[in-house]
Amino acid sequence: MNIPANLKYTKDHEWLLIEGNIGTIGITDFAQGELGDIVYLDVDKNLQTIAAGETFGTIEAVKTVSDLYAPVDGKVLEINEGLNDEPQVINTDPYGKGWIVKVEITNASQINELMTAEEYKNQIGQ
């Protein structure tokens, strides 16, 4: 199970990479493993903002559909268009090519609410 130490995590299995005030969001290795084959990502291409704890899209796997939750408030800068044609890269590279959305973090204090890699590891019982 890959749980990079440099990321922050939500209880809903999203990860957040923080670079200055820019946040990149995806789902964890554990989450992609639980979902199995991912076939389609439903994120509104006109998405402007996300709000901590609120859904900003859904992820469709063969077995089930799952909501995506925002780790922090943010202004959407970019949605990973590569996932339109190859959603399965979330399965193969969840922390790399499988990133979902990039935002400008608008409320940095929310970062403290997120889990560290160690805390997330405990949550999923690894």
Give the interface with another protein as residue ranges (CB under 8 A): 36-37, 39-40, 42, 58, 60, 62-63, 65, 84, 91
* Smallest gap from residue 8 Cβ to another protein (A): 28
* Smallest gap from residue 65 Cβ to another protein (A): 7
Q: Nearer to another protein by C-beta: 12 or 60?
A: 60
Q: Are 89 and 97 in contact (CB under 8 A)?
A: yes
CA distance linking residue 75 with residue 95, whole number of Å: 21
Q: Are 110 and 63 in contact (CB under 8 A)?
A: no
Q: Nearer to another protein by C-beta: 39 or 77?
A: 39
* Smallest gap from residue 120 Cβ to another protein (A): 22
Buried b (16+ CB within 10 A) or exposed e, 30-45: bbbeebeebeebebee
Q: Nearer to another protein by C-beta: 4 or 36?
A: 36
